[in-house]
């Protein structure tokens, strides 16, 4: 498309928007005559009449209305692309609202936030730490960090930034006193420490003979906070199943030991989720890049 064609489209759209050749000319910094010639040129090229003209008013023909709706879309697209290109060379700024899982957020996202804020003083961050899955659109969050496969939602985009694995573990002194389970079914004879979400005990999943096995027993202790479960398992109260990002250091230093490792599930993704706007803002893009930089490799990989 020639530049002249775009200029004619812009002139026509401005005439319709302002309802006047004179106002359109003032808005675009052109003469009234130039605006009139652009509209005539557009009508001649399309071979249709776009405007009904009288000495007092202008109104759209049916063809004009169809073209105007398309023109508005085209001009908005061009404006959005221009804005996005300008932003790519810009710096992140403004408030960034983030939703984070409690333990992952406290242990591994807060250090990233600290680095990010030192690097970009033009950004402020409003972080909500909760294991509740928020609605990013309705609650006006810029992004969320979520664990596992997300539900399909056409309003959202996702990017995998790391992986984690659920680890069945216990304190060495507990295993010395009670022995080790040899298969998942043996757990019924051991004290288990379970995570509770929304009043429901979450099952423990294992891979057994190429199939997935889910187990739940009554357990010795139910808690709704994973870090509290870590405290309990380190105190020798039983066996727990916890994310690798919570127990990696304890497994490295030997204060916890892995149990039933050969039956472990596949690693699951940790993803950044954000609204599927046409162009991602610098503050979101730069923060995701900071996460990737800190988590490659992830601090908890793979014990």
0.75 surpassed by pTM: no
Beta bridge partners of residue 51, listed in sequence order: 60
Tokens standing for 8? 């004619």
Percent share of the chain, pLDDT over 90: 50
DSSP, res 132: S
Tokens standing for 149? 């496969």
* C-alpha distances in Å from residue 133, one per residue of 102, 128, 176, 263, 295: 11, 11, 39, 29, 22
DSSP, res 109: I
Q: Give the CA radius of gyration of the chain.
A: 30
Instruction: Give the pLDDT confidence score for residue 88 in this predicted structure.
Output: 59
For residue range 81-120, list pLDDT tens digits in order: 665 665 555 688 888 999 999 999 999 999 999 999 999 9
Instruction: Give the pLDDT confidence score for residue 302 in this predicted structure.
Output: 55
Instruction: Give the pLDDT confidence score for residue 92 in this predicted structure.
Output: 85
Tokens standing for 123? 């950004």
Rounded CA separation 252/207 (Å):
24
Beta bridge partners of residue 213, listed in sequence order: 206
- Cβ–Cβ under 8 Å, residues 190 and 181: yes
- Cβ–Cβ under 8 Å, residues 37 and 21: no
Instruction: Give the pLDDT confidence score for residue 55 in this predicted structure.
Output: 72
For residue range 11-31, list pLDDT tens digits in order: 999 899 888 898 888 888 888
Instruction: Give the pLDDT confidence score for residue 50 in this predicted structure.
Output: 92
Instruction: Give the pLDDT confidence score for residue 136 in this predicted structure.
Output: 87
Mean pLDDT by 10 residues, the chain (303 residues): 71 89 86 91 91 83 90 76 61 90 95 95 92 86 89 82 94 95 91 88 86 80 91 95 95 95 91 80 90 89 59
Domains and CATH numbers, the chain: 3-88 (1.10.10.10), 94-163+268-294 (3.40.190.10), 166-263 (3.40.190.290)
- Cβ–Cβ under 8 Å, residues 167 and 243: yes
């Amino acid at each position: 498309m020639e530049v002249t064609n775009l200029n004619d489209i812009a002139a026509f759209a401005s005439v319709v928007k302002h309802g006047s050749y004179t106002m359109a000319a003032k808005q675009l910094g052109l003469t009234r005559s130039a605006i009139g010639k652009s509209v005539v040129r557009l009508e001649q090229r399309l071979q249709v009449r776009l405007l009904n003209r009288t000495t007092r008013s202008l109104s759209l023909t049916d063809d004009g209305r169809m073209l105007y709706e398309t023109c508005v879309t085209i001009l908005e697209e061009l404006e959005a692309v221009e804005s996005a290109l300008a932003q790519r060379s810009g710096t992140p700024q403004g408030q960034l609202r983030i939703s984070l899982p409690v333990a992952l957020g406290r242990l591994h996202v807060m250090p990233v936030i600290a680095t990010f804020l030192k690097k970009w003083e033009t950004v402020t961050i409003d972080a909500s730490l909760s294991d509740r899955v928020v609605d990013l659109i309705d609650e006006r969050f810029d992004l969320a960090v979520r664990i596992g496969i997300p539900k399909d939602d056409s309003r959202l985009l996702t990017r995998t930034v790391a992986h984690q694995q659920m680890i069945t573990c216990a304190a060495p002194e507990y295993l010395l006193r009670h022995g080790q389970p040899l298969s998942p079914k043996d757990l019924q004879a051991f004290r288990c420490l379970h995570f509770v979400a929304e009043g429901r005990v979450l099952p423990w999943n294992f891979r057994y003979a190429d199939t997935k096995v889910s187990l739940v027993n009554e357990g010795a202790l139910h808690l709704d906070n994973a870090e509290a479960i870590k405290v309990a398992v380190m105190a020798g109260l039983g066996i727990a199943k916890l994310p690798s990002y919570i127990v990696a250091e304890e497994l490295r230093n030997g204060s916890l030991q892995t149990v039933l490792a050969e039956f472990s599930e596949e690693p699951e993704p940790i993803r950044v989720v954000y609204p599927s706007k046409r162009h991602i803002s610098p503050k979101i893009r730069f923060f995701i890049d900071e996460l990737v930089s800190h988590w490659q490799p992830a601090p908890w990989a793979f014990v």
